Structure 1
Amino acid sequence: MTISDNRRRLRTELTLAEKASLMSGANFWNTKRVDRLGVPSIMLTDGPHGLRKQGGAADHLGLHASIPATCFPPAATLANSWDPGLLTRVGEALGAEAAAEDVSVLLGPGLNLKRNPLAGRSFEYFSEDPLLSGTSAAAMIRGIQSRGVAACAKHFAVNSQETHRMTIDEIVDERALHETYLEGFRIALAEGDPWTVMSSYNKVNGTYANENVELLDRILRRTFGFDGLVVTDWGGNNDRIAGLIAGNALEMPSTDGVTDREIVAAVEAGTLDETVLDARVEELLALIARTARDDAPAPVDHDAHHELAIEAARRSIVLLDNPLDVLPLGPASGRVAVIGDFAARPRYQGAGSSLVNPTRVDSALDALRASDLDIAGFERGFARRDKPSRLLRRRALRLARRSDVVLLFLGLDESAEAEGVDRQHMRLARNQLVLAHQLIGLGVPVVVVLAGGAPVELPFADEAAAIVHSYLAGQGGGTAVADVLTGCVNPSGRLAETYPLVYADVPSSASFAQTQATSEHRESIYVGYRYFDKTETPVRYPFGHGLGYTRFRYEELEAGETSARVTLTNTGAREGEETVQLYVEAPDAAVGEIRAPRELRGFAKVALMPGETVTVEIPYAEHAFDVYDVDHGGWRTVGGTYGVLAGASSRDVRLRRELDVEGEAWTAPGKDRLPHYVDGRVEKVNDLEFGELLGRPLPSPRWPVGQPLTRDDIIAQTRGRGGFAGLLYRVIDLAYALLMALGRPHAANNTRFVLDLPFRSVARMSGGRVDDAMLDGLLLMVNGRFWRGVRQVLSAWRARRRSERVHSNN
């Protein structure tokens, strides 16, 4: 009997109740088992960049400790390597650690497009470009699944902000949806074949992603060919029956049987066809079979994985500036002052569901002290959270004055980047900026080493002697940073996102995370460098930028029908790596068209010895000369004379060749009524023009006023209502402020996360401690009927206790 025959046999022998039970978790991390038929439970757990398996109290926000595991650099860092081979090796290590702990599904990688620098989860995502995102994710997926562990591509789709993320309606036009937000997923599925996909919390154009038939059925399955299992994000179910029909199989975590009973009732009432349920059960059984292990997994070599974490960080660190060639440092550099709290206590990962308990952590300070440099001393320089300290600053300045060069470690602290909250601005902490200004004013060369998972404004950039960006470098980042600074490693990282001069330059800056009910993607296809290059807006560092300690010459670009070839020579005195980036320039550079002037359509990372020359062939991406035609519901090759560009960033083009492409004539529908989409000045788009682009009226961006709160509303909507509702909001807000004051930013951010929970999630994420009857009592309380609500909560609680006692006695 084949595996598929066995699955069909199991499905036919399962009762309706058993099939329904398989559609939700047994607890926080495990699926249910059916002992009668030998259907085992499997474990799903977090880990985009490291295994986060919890042995005790369970949560999905990093509140409780997990077992030690290797903390690799997060996706935002690894993307800077532009090295799919490296990501595959990291994926293999992640899969090996998951397999050793009997984990069947590793919940990652995340590959949502980076729409705005303030998105709180940017550190978990790869890039602002779908090709780089999708290629990177596919490489990691292949690595994870090579160890018999399912990867889970997430979050599908358009998860672009953390503010009100569980109910926010992402309003995006169809062309932007396909060309930007879905294209990375398409590539990851085509090249990586993940066995699971996680749906996102948010709505997309009015419908929750998890019950969106257009997204999960027509696009994900029928168009992209996905044949695996769709799992909710934790607590991400809204309407269980609608989710099943759309294509979601597994709801996590456990709902204590509530939604299982809903499924049984729907089948018995005829509102859910049992064949739909059978299809979802088949998907879960297939996943169980795919991840079954006959042999015990090999033990994990944590030392080897730590070395891989160091290598991954080395290859991802970006040298942003080095105008005076101060770097690399060596014995001839003189006395080196190390200043900045991050040197001793590194920021090496973000917070939330991806918070890994590392097996060890290397600090840059320890690694620098172990090098050949003459370290004059170390000073913290500033308080970790933005608290003024003249004493710390004076001590740092005193050390700098008796040194020949300063290594200044700056960055975003732990409270700035976390799941569940978006950043409030793009600035570094004020105490860090004051210190940087005063140190630079001394006249001693200052080398800035940055840490953080997303762009920041850098007002001191033109005055620094050099700037190195480690991003969030994982547990081996301290060693990697020291190796780059001292020249043991030639930096080869290249930015996977654009660094604006100031946040106001970002096209979505005026509206991002500012509304309550909707998030309007008025910039459409103009995300990241597509906008900045279209409008020729000055930037601090362009997409793809990065320097090294050698130089490369580009020659002899040939543009063929399916690929381009370019000859590259290392003209410097050191071995190094260059990332050759291939851009396709639209006919006439898209002047007068709703189209980006150039887009990344291929890349290759090449290692060369001094004086070595190599010819590199780079295939064009699948849709290199295409646009998504909304009228025809598919991709269209647009004919014309294109420019094929080879360069070191989107603005550092070294060679250009023309290529005539056969295709169809195309003009964006309604172009004459969309002037700001034609010239790219999408920050000027008004309601009328955005509605014209969408082809429908805009929904209200605000929550309804004066209406009772329902299960689908979020706890944040209690604000300003008075009575118990207002008290509930103030208690949560006060707890957040108190935890911040106590120096516990992770717990504080997770407390604030509660405000974005829909009331329905209070019951469904309580592990059975709160049922729907109690929830209805809570809603009575917040809607001004406090004592009636209290009585209902107590009555429901007593009824539940009686039921539990009867069940335990039986």
Structure 2
Amino acid sequence: MTSTDLTDFPALVANLDLETKVRLLTGATSFTLHGEDSIGLAPMAFSDGPTGVRGLKFTGGEQVALFPNATLLASAWSEDTAHEVGEMLAQEAQRQQIHVVLGPTINLHRSPLGGRLFEAYSEDPLLTGRLAAAYVKGLQGQGIGACLKHLVANESETLRNYMNSVVSEEALREVYLLPFEIAVDDANPWSIMAAYNDVNGVPATEQDHVNNEVVKGEWGWDGLLMSDWFATKTSAPAALGGLDLVMPGPDGPWGAALVADVEAGAVPESVIDEHVCRLLRLAERVGALGGPDAHRVWPTDSWAPDAPARREQLRRLATDGMVVLRNKGGALPLTAASATSGTVALIGRHAVETVCMGGGSAQVNPPYQVSIAQGLRAAIGDRLTVVDGVEVRERPLPAAPDSISDPVTGAPGMQVEHLDADGVVMLSEHVDGADVTTGFDETPPRPTEQLRLRARLAKGGRVRLGALGTGRWRVSLDGADLGGADLVAGGADPGEGMFKPPHWTADVDAAPGALVEAVLTILRTEPQPGPDGKLSTLSHVLASGMGVKSLVVAPVPAPTDEVIEAAVAAARDAETAVVVVGLTPEQETEGTDKSTLALPGDQDRLVSAVAAAAARTVVVLNAATPVLMPWAEDVDAILVVGLPGQEGGHAVADALLGLREPAGRLVTSWPAADGAAPAWVVEPTDLQLEYTDGVFIGYRGFHAGHAEPPAHWLGAGDGYGSWEYESAELTGTDTGVTVRVTVRNTSDRESREVVQAYFQPDEADQPVRLVGWGTATVPAGGHADVEVTTDARLWRRWDTAAGTWGAPLSGGELLVARGLGDIRSRLPLA
């Protein structure tokens, strides 16, 4: 993978003294790097990017496009889609002058409880790797760097900064490193991010075996390896273990400590030079090296995040990944004719407050988010009745921008004042939403010791007022004190304060225009050792009071029985009841894992009640990852819509009405019950998490009988067509096994099929594995020949004793399938 460099990087590095070199290897701010004029190095800017290019601020930044989430995009099983998404993200980055987008996330869906699965593509390493490679090509083809994350075995969030993933070398090579290897081989990403966790007893940021021996050595990768934010725990061990860049800055474990390590002989200066060369190579690739004349010129005519063309792209991409899991009697699509001649009752909290993105670093500030109620109303007008659903959240939401206004400017949002230790207002600013961050990307000249959040209520009545975030809060209404509390994060992860903030609320009667004020005093403590007993950078982060602080303004929820009675009445009076249920950013978020696959709240009870009353019931699942559906056999149709981005409501309406086919296929197997999966546990024991499923991840373990069969297999999904597989034959083995499959669309409408090929080796200790797929869009009654060329990397077997790849697997059979629950042909292999 080594490229031909245009610049003599060692010669540039030779012009720098040790302190300067080390300074370049830690970020300048939360999301920027230092420049160095003496060698023509410009500062570089990074941005989180799983579902949009957020920019340089964690909260309160400029408005950017909100994309469908990764599992929804991956459900299209389309490298063309992944490439297009990469190009779109590059355009978003260019508009904001961002050099590197921190994505794609290519950890695997090992346990369905993983909180961050919505950011990652799939449980399958081949599907993940090929989509990642296409994404990287789309992004870097526009001169914006990609960053594969998180290297490696980072499949859960619980105690992620301290836990140790215990993984066999066989599973590491054949499963968890494979997506990274495929992306490196096929697309040469310019950067990779090292994870928070330890791997087999060694921190990912210090992994000489993975980072140096495998990635930089065996694979010959020449890019930059950066840390996840606050992940670096040491100076010399991390520098020697292959880490090139510590993020964020300006503080961290390197700096003076690393200079001292070099001067003491603990780290050869040549190691520092190699790290800086990789940094300069990244800079050259993204147009930040060579002096002002050589630096990239940023475009001035980029699309706005709400431009009509961007809206169309996001709407189309979201619909293409939606998955039809059940369609009894052709309940879907609700054709435009029937939808306008009959009535539809749209029911559920997710219908009116559609969850369009997950929590954590994947969050962005979009220009708008279309709910399913808004999208379906726009499509079928007054034939639609909308009924709210049961409560779905444990924590209250921050105030919606249109529910509050700035008492100074009158604009939607709030007024925020940052005060120092002497009570001096250092900064007074308007914030579009109801969130502000402290201790991370602030701009005041001195540390913020107190915040004042002030807003006027757009509506009156019975309301829930309060605050989210760590610290000492007092909340008042028109000057009258309502109360407050000292709120403390509940876990050892610094992400708790950012992604799972504690809250305090009070239910009160308020008049329109009433002034709400929430005053926060930052609570700073002495750094304490983490669960691993070490006093690390994370200990100082936790002690600083860092986190997101939010103003809460929300309606007081109605009683559950009353809500369900209203839903049943609406369903009984309509031709079709569409019930929207799902998960929230409390379950699908960075920093925490789920404890169950059950839908939160009384959503199952709501669906069952509606299904018993309605003539026809369609369930829309607003969730990115598997859920339990005890009512599945009682409803007519199930449509999985993921976290569909800013155009979500319009995209769902297109799918329900058949204006565009939801032709997606599942990217993860859905267990039939809690615990019924090859891997389930995400909470480490004594900080150890054993990857006991080995190479039998997900569908591989289900197929081998390591758990009861799933409710739905990887690759399942019906779209709006029906298919016969008329023939399947092997057509070549010179460069890999190839199969040609003839498929016929037996439905009365055009449809897209995804033909999947799985290899089942003869060896009992070897799992079945996806080795390739192909797609075809076929008119009603038509047929197509689909050729699937399999990937030779899936025929390899790691020889642990020899420490190398053994002879390729042979024999067995090739399974042609629509997911392993629907095998259409078995072809013996010689």
- What TM bracket, shorter-length normalisation? 0.7 to 0.9
Aligned residue for 2:28, secondary structure, equals coil
Task: Give the aligned residue type for 1:30.
Answer: T
Unaligned runs of 5+ in 2: 288-294, 395-556
Task: Give the aligned residue type for 1:271.
Answer: A
The CA distance in 1 between the partners of 2:234 and 2:614, in whole Å, is: 63
Alignment counterpart, residue 203 of structure 2, candidates 205, 208, 212: 208
Q: Is 1:338–1:375's contact at 8 Å kept on the other side of the alignment?
A: no
1:123 aligns with 2:125: no
Query: RMSD over aligned Cα, in angstroms?
Result: 1.7
Aligned residue for 1:13, secondary structure, equals coil
Q: Is 1:3–1:289's contact at 8 Å kept on the other side of the alignment?
A: no
Task: Look up the match of 1:783.
Answer: none
Q: Is 2:234–2:253's contact at 8 Å kept on the other side of the alignment?
A: no
Q: Is 2:286–2:296's contact at 8 Å kept on the other side of the alignment?
A: no
Aligned residue for 2:797, secondary structure, equals strand
Alignment counterpart, residue 248 of structure 2, candidates 240, 244, 253: 253
Aligned residue for 1:580, secondary structure, equals strand
1:623 aligns with 2:813: no
How much does 1:180 deviate?
A: 1.1
Q: Deviations over 1:613-653 (max 9, x none)?
A: 22222111122332222112222335542211211112211
Pairing of 1:415-430 with structure 2 (within 5 A): 415-430=586-601
1:574 aligns with 2:749: yes
The CA distance in 1 between the partners of 2:760 and 2:40, in whole Å, is: 57
How much does 1:485 deviate?
A: 0.6
Task: Look up the match of 1:692.
Answer: none
Task: Look up the match of 1:642.
Answer: 812
Task: Look up the match of 1:343.
Answer: 351
How much does 1:257 deviate?
A: 6.8
Q: Deviations over 1:644-670 (max 9, x none)?
A: 12111122111221121xxxxxxxxxx
Q: Is 1:130–1:184's contact at 8 Å kept on the other side of the alignment?
A: yes
Aligned residue for 2:724, secondary structure, equals strand
How much does 1:255 deviate?
A: 4.3
Alignment counterpart, residue 435 of structure 1, candidates 606, 609, 616: 606
The CA distance in 1 between the partners of 2:201 and 2:684, in whole Å, is: 18
Q: Is 1:493–1:546's contact at 8 Å kept on the other side of the alignment?
A: yes
Task: Look up the match of 2:270.
Answer: 275
Q: Is 2:593–2:682's contact at 8 Å kept on the other side of the alignment?
A: no
Q: Is 1:141–1:192's contact at 8 Å kept on the other side of the alignment?
A: yes
Relative to 1, partners in 2 of residues 1:236 and 1:441: Cα closer, same or farther, differing over 3 Å? same
Aligned residue for 2:142, secondary structure, equals coil
Task: Give the aligned residue type for 2:227.
Answer: T
Pairing of 1:384-463 with structure 2 (within 5 A): 384-385=392-393, 389-463=560-634
Task: Look up the match of 2:769.
Answer: 599
Aligned residue for 1:137, secondary structure, equals helix
Aligned residue for 2:329, secondary structure, equals coil
How much does 1:219 deviate?
A: 1.0
Q: Deviations over 1:754-799 (max 9, x none)?
A: xxxxxxxxxxxxxxxxxxxxxxxxxxxxxxxxxxxxxxxxxxxxxx
Task: Give the aligned residue type for 1:28.
Answer: S
Q: Deviations over 1:678-723 (max 9, x none)?
A: xxxxxxxxxxxxxxxxxxxxxxxxxxxxxxxxxxxxxxxxxxxxxx
Pairing of 1:655-804 with structure 2 (within 5 A): 655-660=825-830
Task: Look up the match of 2:475.
Answer: none
Q: Is 1:241–1:263's contact at 8 Å kept on the other side of the alignment?
A: yes
Q: Is 2:797–2:809's contact at 8 Å kept on the other side of the alignment?
A: no
Relative to 1, partners in 2 of residues 1:569 and 1:637: Cα closer, same or farther, differing over 3 Å? farther
Task: Look up the match of 1:26.
Answer: 28
Q: Is 2:75–2:667's contact at 8 Å kept on the other side of the alignment?
A: yes
Task: Look up the match of 1:367.
Answer: 375
How much does 1:183 deviate?
A: 0.8
Q: Deviations over 1:477-510 (max 9, x none)?
A: 211111111111122100000011112201333x
How much does 1:569 deviate?
A: 2.1
The CA distance in 1 between the partners of 2:578 and 2:318, in whole Å, is: 19
Report which stretch shifted further, 562-571 or 207-216: 562-571
Q: Deviations over 1:232-284 (max 9, x none)?
A: 00001011222221211110111437621112111111111111111100000
Aligned residue for 2:598, secondary structure, equals coil
Unaligned runs of 5+ in 1: 661-810
Task: Give the aligned residue type for 2:197.
Answer: N
Pairing of 1:46-57 with structure 2 (within 5 A): 46-54=48-56
Report which stretch shifted further, 606-615 or 193-202: 606-615
Task: Look up the match of 1:152.
Answer: 147
Task: Give the aligned residue type for 2:365.
Answer: N
The CA distance in 1 between the partners of 2:7 and 2:390, in whole Å, is: 64
1:243 aligns with 2:233: no
How much does 1:568 deviate?
A: 2.0
How much does 1:3 deviate?
A: 6.3
Q: Is 1:43–1:102's contact at 8 Å kept on the other side of the alignment?
A: yes
Task: Look up the match of 1:653.
Answer: 823
**Higher RCO by CA contacts (8 Å cutoff, separation 6 or greater):** 2
Task: Look up the match of 1:519.
Answer: 689
Q: Is 2:576–2:614's contact at 8 Å kept on the other side of the alignment?
A: no
Pairing of 1:315-330 with structure 2 (within 5 A): 315-330=320-335
Aligned residue for 1:568, secondary structure, equals strand
Report which stretch shifted further, 382-391 or 244-253: 382-391
Q: Deviations over 1:39-84 (max 9, x none)?
A: 2110111111201113xxx44xxxx222211111121111111011
Alignment counterpart, residue 533 of structure 1, candidates 688, 691, 703: 703
Alignment counterpart, residue 356 of structure 1, candidates 350, 364, 384: 364
Q: Is 1:348–1:473's contact at 8 Å kept on the other side of the alignment?
A: yes
Pairing of 1:472-491 with structure 2 (within 5 A): 472-491=643-662
1 or 2, which has the higher helix percentage? 1
Aligned residue for 1:175, secondary structure, equals helix
Task: Look up the match of 1:313.
Answer: 318
How much does 1:412 deviate?
A: 0.6
The CA distance in 1 between the partners of 2:79 and 2:144, in whole Å, is: 19
Task: Look up the match of 1:707.
Answer: none
Report which stretch shifted further, 78-87 or 437-446: 437-446
Q: Is 2:148–2:192's contact at 8 Å kept on the other side of the alignment?
A: yes
Relative to 1, partners in 2 of residues 1:266 and 1:360: Cα closer, same or farther, differing over 3 Å? same
TM-score norm. by structure 2 comes to 0.76
Task: Look up the match of 2:442.
Answer: none
The CA distance in 1 between the partners of 2:607 and 2:691, in whole Å, is: 36
The CA distance in 2 between the partners of 1:464 and 1:595, in whole Å, is: 38
How much does 1:119 deviate?
A: 0.7
The CA distance in 2 between the partners of 1:584 and 1:258, in whole Å, is: 47
Aligned residue for 1:410, secondary structure, equals strand
Task: Look up the match of 2:170.
Answer: 175
Q: Is 2:716–2:818's contact at 8 Å kept on the other side of the alignment?
A: yes
The CA distance in 2 between the partners of 1:603 and 1:640, in whole Å, is: 20
The CA distance in 2 between the partners of 1:567 and 1:413, in whole Å, is: 41
Report which stretch shifted further, 301-310 or 416-425: 301-310
How much does 1:316 deviate?
A: 0.2
1:379 aligns with 2:554: no
TM-score norm. by structure 1 comes to 0.78
Aligned residue for 1:500, secondary structure, equals coil
Relative to 1, partners in 2 of residues 1:294 and 1:53: Cα closer, same or farther, differing over 3 Å? closer
Task: Look up the match of 2:760.
Answer: 585
The CA distance in 1 between the partners of 2:610 and 2:134, in whole Å, is: 42
Number of residue pairs matched by the alignment: 646
Task: Look up the match of 2:19.
Answer: 17
1 or 2, which has the higher strand percentage? 2
